[in-house]
Amino acid sequence: MKLKVNNKYAFYFDAEHEVEGQWDHGVIATAPDGLSLSRYHGSLDQSTGMSVVTLTGNLPPGLTNFGDLSFSVNGRQFDVPLLSHPDFARALANGERLIYPYQSTVLKKQGLLVAIDFGKKTWTARFNGKVDPLLAPRSAKAKIQVKVGGEPWYTGDHTIQNYTLKLKQPGSGLRRAGYLE
C-alpha cells in the first residue's frame, strides 16, 4: 500500500500474509477399468507450517502386476519405491494390504504414508506435517498424476468446487517512508 502526500512524501506498507486453506474434491471415475482418483482433500496452514493432503483412489479390477508409484500434484512429484518393500510381492500375490514406508526412509521424514489394499483394490496417499505448498490447489485448480512403473496410469486437471482460502496477516508488516523527487 502506498500513500502520497502533496506529491512530495510517500509512505509505504508492505502487507505480509500467511495462507490458510481447506479443500475437498470428489472425483467421478472416468476410466472404470484403470487406476482412478476418487478424492483429493486437505488443509494448509502456513502460520503453523502444518498441513495434511490426502489422495484416495481405486486400482483396476483384474490387476495382475504393479510397480513403483509416483504421485504428482501441481508439478511436485513424490516417488514411492514399492518394489523395494520386503512384503510387496506377497501383498500383490495374496491381495493383502501394504503400507509404505515400512521403516525410517526419506518419504517418512517428508510425512508421506501410502496404503494399498490389493484385495479391496484401493489406495491412499497421505502427506502430513510440513507439506510442500504445491500439493495444495492453485487458484482452486489442481493437476494430479499417478504413475506406476514410470508410466502414467491417471492424469487429471481438476477445478476444486469445495475450496476455502483465507489470507492472514501475521504481524504489523514492513513500514517505510520516503521522499519523492
The answer as to whether 115 is a domain residue is yes
Distance CA 64, CA 92 (A): 8
Quickly list DSSP for 94-148. Answer: HT-EEEE--SS-HHHHTTEEEEEETTTTEEEEEEEES--GGGS-BTTEEEEEEEE
Residue 97 in contact with residue 91, Cβ under 8 Å?
A: yes
Q: What is the CATH classification number for the domain harbouring 110?
A: 2.60.40
Mean pLDDT of the chain: 84
* Domain that includes residue 118, residue range: 24-170
C-alpha cell, 26: 470428489
The answer as to whether 2 is a domain residue is no
Residue 3, pLDDT score = 67
Residue 23, pLDDT score = 94
Longest C-alpha distance within the chain, in Å?
79
**Burial (Cβ within 10 Å: 0-12, 13-18, ≥19) of residue 105:** middle
Residue 75 reports pLDDT greater than 90: yes
Distance CA 148, CA 68 (A): 6
Distance CA 177, CA 180 (A): 10
pLDDT in tens, 102-111: 655 555 566 8
The answer as to whether 7 is a domain residue is no
The answer as to whether 17 is a domain residue is no
Residue 177, pLDDT score = 44
Residue 6, pLDDT score = 76
Residue 175, pLDDT score = 43
Distance CA 107, CA 127 (A): 9
Which one is predicted more confidently, 115 or 171? 115
The answer as to whether 176 is a domain residue is no
Residue 14, pLDDT score = 62
| Structural domain total, the chain | 1
The answer as to whether 131 is a domain residue is yes
Sorting pLDDT into bands at 50, 70 and 90, what band is 166? confident
Residue 91 belongs to what H/E stretch?
Answer: helix 88-94
The answer as to whether 13 is a domain residue is no
Sorting pLDDT into bands at 50, 70 and 90, what band is 31? confident
Sorting pLDDT into bands at 50, 70 and 90, what band is 139? confident
pTM over 0.95: no
Nearest to 46 by CA among 105, 110, 133: 133
Residue 118 reports pLDDT greater than 60: yes
Residue 172 reports pLDDT greater than 50: no
**Percentage with pLDDT > 70 across the chain:** 83
The answer as to whether 121 is a domain residue is yes
